Amino acid sequence: DAHCTLALVKPDVAQDEQAVATIIGRITARGYTIKDRVEITLSRAQASAFYAEHSDRPFFEGLVAFMSSGPTVALLLEGDDVVRGWRMMVGPTSPATARQQMPQSIRALLGDDGPRNAVHGSDSAESAQRELGFFFHPRIQAEVEEEP
């Protein structure tokens, strides 16, 4: 369903605590819940796998280099129609276009250019399932017995 999606804060922004706080504040103000959060520096192989659908594009090498250049913050978002809603908050792929067409969007506010567009959002419920599986695993409820 469209009830969960993946939000990424990319390496151009992930180390800027104030920017991350701004993004999280917008998400929660919109009524979405952040169910899980991980910070990871992707390897080149992981970045290539995550963006495999773009492997034939001219920008692929630059995208992989950028995405493996530093930490990424991955957020599991939950809420009504959150796949579409988060994409709306993110704005157009190009920050320059975003500044012209959606000046309130996150990419307009925080994006640079090229692959450095601050955030990512899954483009469909199907993509969200696949992409969430890339960063998050179902939590196994373990009964922990303390050793004496």
Which residues form the interface with ligand CMP (CB under 6 A)?
54, 59, 63, 93, 114-115, 117, 120
The verdict on whether residue 87 carries a ligand-binding annotation is yes
User: Which residue number, 123 or 139, has a Cβ lying nearer to ligand CMP?
Assistant: 123
The verdict on whether residue 117 carries a ligand-binding annotation is yes
Smallest separation (angstroms) from ligand CMP to the CB of 66: 7
Smallest separation (angstroms) from ligand CMP to the CB of 117: 5
For residue 74, give the nearest of 17, 2, 6 by alpha carbon. 6
In whole angstroms, what is the distance from residue 37 CA to residue 55 CA?
Answer: 27
- Are 50 and 90 a contacting pair, CB within 8 Å? no
Structure tokens at 48: 């290539």
The verdict on whether residue 35 carries a ligand-binding annotation is no
User: Which residue number, 12 or 139, has a Cβ lying nearer to ligand CMP?
Assistant: 12
User: Which residue number, 123 or 145, has a Cβ lying nearer to ligand CMP?
Assistant: 123
Give the relative orientation of helices 82-90 and 17-29 as an angle to the nearest 10 degrees: 140
DSSP 3-state of 86: helix
Residues carrying an active site annotation:
120
In whole angstroms, what is the distance from residue 41 CA to residue 100 CA?
Answer: 31
> Binding site: residue ranges?
10, 59, 87, 93, 107, 117
> Binding site for ATP: residue ranges?
10, 59, 87, 93, 107, 117
